[in-house]
């Protein structure tokens, strides 16, 4: 019997010929498998044969030598996001909406806030891909989150790092503007790898750094999924209700880190999100019109 994927970290790269390949992160190497179907591998839950090896330069960001290109770990048919799953998120969104109590109601309600973030990866980038600040927004922030890859029953298969980039001024003007604040080109990033947890009850530390155009830190913070007010089981239970979930769907589970009012993403900045055990997701910022 082939070994289980439990505890294994998986990534996708474009090989020398530009073909997507799945690989296992093993120290300073990416061991390429005989498949380019990440989802089938996750659902089968067993490793296949190693057919090639690529040296990586950093086992956190998974930097790799040319001509290999690191890709988003999964092309999700749909990406959903949960909001107000941390107390810090409730406080921030209450403040940005001038004290309206709608976010208090969401935080304390049985039903979570769930919204559709992307379809078929059209607005999502992978590691090193440019995330965007909307051209008509004045206050855009990254939202570092644990992201979960789901099967067709909305059961979890693996976790990765997600960035739910958001235009806070647009959402704060009116909660009905949420789709415009959250859904646009370059508003989501996933990567650098998938982790198949050995224990789905484990908590994850999440760290955020925002660097200016000179790559000097302008904001740093950290949180933990232990601070979430809703479990993954509750979020996926509501997500699957009367809602078809294609295999490979990604669920962003909410953020517990909110940069202060004076911090906004600008063209040329760099965002780094680290979750130990998964790696570091690094993305430059570009203007929305780009």
Comparing 169-173, 254-258, 284-288, the range with the smallest average pLDDT is 284-288
- As annotated, the residues of the chain forming the CATH 3.10.330 domain(s) are 9-71
pLDDT for residue 188: 98
How confident is the model at residue 36, as a pLDDT? Answer: 92
Cα dist. 65→16, 31, 73 in Å? 11, 14, 18
For 226-269, the pLDDT digits (tens) are: 999 899 999 999 999 999 999 999 999 999 999 999 999 999 99
User: Given a cut of 70, is residue 279 above it in pLDDT?
Assistant: yes
pLDDT score of 97 more than 70: no
CATH level 2 (architecture), domain 9-71: Roll (3.10)
Res. 160: pLDDT tops 60: yes
Average pLDDT, the chain: 92
Give the model's confidence band at 290: pLDDT under 50 very low, under 70 low, under 90 confident, else very high. low
Q: What confidence tens digit (pLDDT) does each residue in 108-118 have?
A: 788 999 999 99
Please compute the mean of the pLDDT values over residues 114-140 and round it to a whole number. Answer: 96
Q: Where in the chain is the domain with CATH 3.90.850.10?
A: 78-287
Structurally, at CATH architecture level, domain 78-287 sits in Alpha-Beta Complex (3.90)
Rounded CA separation 276/9 (Å): 12
pLDDT above 50 (res 1) = no
């Amino acid at each position: 019997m082939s070994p289980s994927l439990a505890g294994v970290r998986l990534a996708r790269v474009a090989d020398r010929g530009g073909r997507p390949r799945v690989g296992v992160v093993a120290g300073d190497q990416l061991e390429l498998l005989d498949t380019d179907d990440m989802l089938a591998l996750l659902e089968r839950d067993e490793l296949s044969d190693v057919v090639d090896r690529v040296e990586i330069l950093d086992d956190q960001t998974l930097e790799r030598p040319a001509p290999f290109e690191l890709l988003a770990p999964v092309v999700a048919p749909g990406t959903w996001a949960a909001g107000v799953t941390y107390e810090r998120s409730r406080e921030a969104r209450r403040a940005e909406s001038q004290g309206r109590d709608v976010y208090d109601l969401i935080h304390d309600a049985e039903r979570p806030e769930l919204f559709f973030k992307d379809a078929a990866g059209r607005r999502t980038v992978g590691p090193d891909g440019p995330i965007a600040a909307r051209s008509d927004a004045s206050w855009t922030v990254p939202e570092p989150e644990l992201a979960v890859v789901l099967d067709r029953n909305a059961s979890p298969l693996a976790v990765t790092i997600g960035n739910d980039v958001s235009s806070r001024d647009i959402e704060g003007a009116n909660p009905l503007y949420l789709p415009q604040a959250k859904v646009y080109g370059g508003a989501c990033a996933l990567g650098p790898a998938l982790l198949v947890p050995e224990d789905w009850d484990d908590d994850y530390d999440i760290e955020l750094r925002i660097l200016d155009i000179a790559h000097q830190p302008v904001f740093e913070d950290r949180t933990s999924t232990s601070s979430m007010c809703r479990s993954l089981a509750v979020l996926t239970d509501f997500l699957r209700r009367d809602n078809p979930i294609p295999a490979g769907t990604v669920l962003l589970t909410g953020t517990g880190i909110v940069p202060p009012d004076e911090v906004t993403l600008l063209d040329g900045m760099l965002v780094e999100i680290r979750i130990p055990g998964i790696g570091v997701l690094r993305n430059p910022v570009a203007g929305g019109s780009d």
